[in-house]
Amino acid sequence: MLDETPEIDNPDFWLLRLGRRMRRRERVLDEWWRYYKGRPPLPELPKNAQQAFLDFQRKARTNVCQVIANASVHRLTALGVTGPDGEPDPDASRWWQQNRLDSRQKLVWRLAMSQSVGYMLVGEHPIRTEENGRPSPLVTAEHPRECIVEYDPETGEPLVGLKAFPSDIDGYGYAVVFFDDARFRYRTTERCGSRLPWGPDSWVPVGGDQGESHDLGMLQLVEFARMPDLGEDPEPEFAGVIDIQDRLNLGVLNRMATSRNAGFPQKWIRGHKFAKKKDPVTGLVVVEQPFVPGPSAVWASEGENAQFGQLAAADLSGFLKEHESDVRDALLLSQTPVYYYAGDLVNISADTIGALDILHVAKIREHIAVFGEGMESVMSLCAAQAGVPEDYVEAEVRWANPAHASLAVKADAATKLKSIGYPLDVIAEEMGETPAMVRRITAGAASQALLAASLLPAPGAAPTAGNLPDDSGAGGALDG
């Protein structure tokens, strides 16, 4: 049985504590994931109509939450890491490419936008090694269903991390508790399903009680939380519009039901004498219904003044306006550009797009500030794992400009920056180039300038006071 004594250095305590926290978080993660994937709870109808509208309920779901989350993911692109002096770092660029961070970063950003938090885990590569013989760093994207981090309440720094997951190969659950100088591995005592147990007798240590020490100097698990408020848990990008999403689905359901019923409008008849008969079972007097609607039915009445008609069709314009209003409210409250739902926007200019982007770009820059700190921690862990004596805390993560700009606008801005004396590497960064491309551009410009200088004609000897010709023919003799 594991020791649940609440001590900082007790890995058993942290395994159970963080595992139970992660299990409590599963419910809300499931809810957020259903909204992100467009599978929120079905809109409710009156009890007597549920069976008739089950198909309508499923078709009425209109997924706006995924659009809101992906709108931010599309603007978040880390280009690479530069050193404290602003120059591209070759080691960081190599680790970046080896771990495919151009694509893996998007997995983490999408988790943070849809599930409120994502993780990156830095460890030892099983095959690749560095020149000094140490294992190369391996960076993996991790899901919040399997990872969680506890922070020191006094300093706010990460204190302990946990990664726990079930194995579909042998059926057991596995867990690793991370400290800044060691990690402890565990396995479930019995085979389990996808839901891990978190009782003190459900886990046993693997590999001894001393764990596995490491010299990274910090927690291997880096958390990327989506814009958390102070003292509050982070929420997904669409947390503020979940009620609007439910309202939107209900409005679509009502419109679909009204539209379908409008295909069979209510009929009426006047001046017809209906026959009555007595029900032999109940004894009640009921009215016969000879008029059954159908595509081949013809109604006729013997009444002298009989009249047939139908009620007016329902007006669906109100439902459409309500739908448009709900979508715009969702985009506005989530600070997503309204041109994602174009509506009546026709031939909008670049200036209009820039104005509509102001709040969205401001939100993305706030994400960049938070995620950039995490990427610096990832690079510091990579350097520690590779044995490189470089402090990447002072490094800078280069991000693509989240503001929309056409190539013509970028070229015009670059020309103006050049005219006022900006160096070429800074201009290339403003154009959104990666650190490797910036180095290539500056090196190419320098080589072209050197080649152009070498092709210039050699300057001739200019006449000076000492080499002017003597026209007197005296051969330079002095007078007197």
| Structure confidence by residue, pLDDT tens digits, 324-358 | 889 989 999 999 988 877 666 666 777 777 778 88
Query: What are the residues whose beta carbons fall under 8 Å from the beta carbon of 349, sequence distance 6 or more?
Result: none
Please write the tens of the pLDDT for every residue from 298-312: 888 888 888 888 877
Whether residue 64 has pLDDT greater than 80: yes
Q: What are phi and psi of 241, to 5 degrees?
A: -125, 15
At 323 the pLDDT is: 86
Rounded CA-CA distance 472/344 in Å is: 92
- Stretch 442-460: mean pLDDT, rounded? 74
Whether residue 28 has pLDDT greater than 70: yes
At 477 the pLDDT is: 47
Domain residue extents for the chain: 1-50+62-240+335-404, 265-312, 408-454
Locate 404 and state its tokens.
């929309």
Residue environment code for 231-244, b if the CB has 16+ CB neighbours within 10 A, otherwise e:
eeebbbbbbebbeb
Rounded CA-CA distance 242/247 in Å is: 9
**Which residue's entry shows tokens 């506890």?**
150
Confidence of residue 463 (pLDDT cuts 50, 70, 90): low
Q: Which amino acid is at 356?
A: L
At 166 the pLDDT is: 92
Answer with the residue of higher pLDDT: 343 or 64: 64
For the chain, percent of residues with pLDDT exceeding 90: 36
For the chain, percent of residues with pLDDT exceeding 70: 90
DSSP H or E stretch at residue 396? strand 396-399
Rounded CA-CA distance 230/226 in Å is: 12
At 366 the pLDDT is: 94
The answer to whether residues 379 and 117 touch, using CB atoms and an 8 Å cutoff, is no
Rounded CA-CA distance 44/64 in Å is: 19
DSSP tag of 33? H
Rounded CA-CA distance 450/186 in Å is: 62
The answer to whether residues 153 and 177 touch, using CB atoms and an 8 Å cutoff, is no
Rounded CA-CA distance 74/79 in Å is: 13
Rounded CA-CA distance 66/360 in Å is: 16
Locate 352 and state its tokens.
């209009």
Is the full-model pTM beyond 0.85?
A: no
DSSP string, 330-376: HHHHTT--GGGS-TT--S--HHHHHHHTHHHHHHHHHHHHHHHHHHH
Rounded CA-CA distance 248/62 in Å is: 7
Please write the tens of the pLDDT for every residue from 383-408: 999 998 877 777 888 898 898 777 77
Residue environment code for 119-153, b if the CB has 16+ CB neighbours within 10 A, otherwise e:
bbbbbebeeeebeeebbbbbbebbbbbbbbbeeee
Cα 385 to Cα 125, 133, 183: the distances in Å are 10, 11, 15
The answer to whether residues 457 and 441 touch, using CB atoms and an 8 Å cutoff, is no
- Stretch 441-452: mean pLDDT, rounded? 77
Q: Is 21 helix (H, G, I), strand (E, B) or coil?
A: helix
Neighbours of 428 (CB within 10 A): 20
Query: What are the residues whose beta carbons fall under 8 Å from the beta carbon of 23, sequence distance 6 or more?
Result: 195, 196, 198
Query: What are the residues whose beta carbons fall under 8 Å from the beta carbon of 351, sequence distance 6 or more?
Result: none
Whether residue 44 has pLDDT greater than 70: no
**Which residue's entry shows tokens 């760093």?**
137
- Stretch 29-42: mean pLDDT, rounded? 85
Query: What are the residues whose beta carbons fall under 8 Å from the beta carbon of 132, sequence distance 6 or more?
Result: 386, 387
DSSP H or E stretch at residue 160? strand 158-166
At 478 the pLDDT is: 47
Query: What are the residues whose beta carbons fall under 8 Å from the beta carbon of 78, sequence distance 6 or more?
Result: 101, 105, 371, 372, 375, 397, 398, 399, 400
Confidence of residue 88 (pLDDT cuts 50, 70, 90): confident
Rounded CA-CA distance 92/130 in Å is: 13
The answer to whether residues 37 and 66 touch, using CB atoms and an 8 Å cutoff, is yes
Pairing of strands 396-399, 78-82: antiparallel
Nearest to 11 by CA among 175, 151, 154: 175
Locate 263 and state its tokens.
């295909």
Q: Dihedral of CA 106/108/113/115: which sign?
A: positive
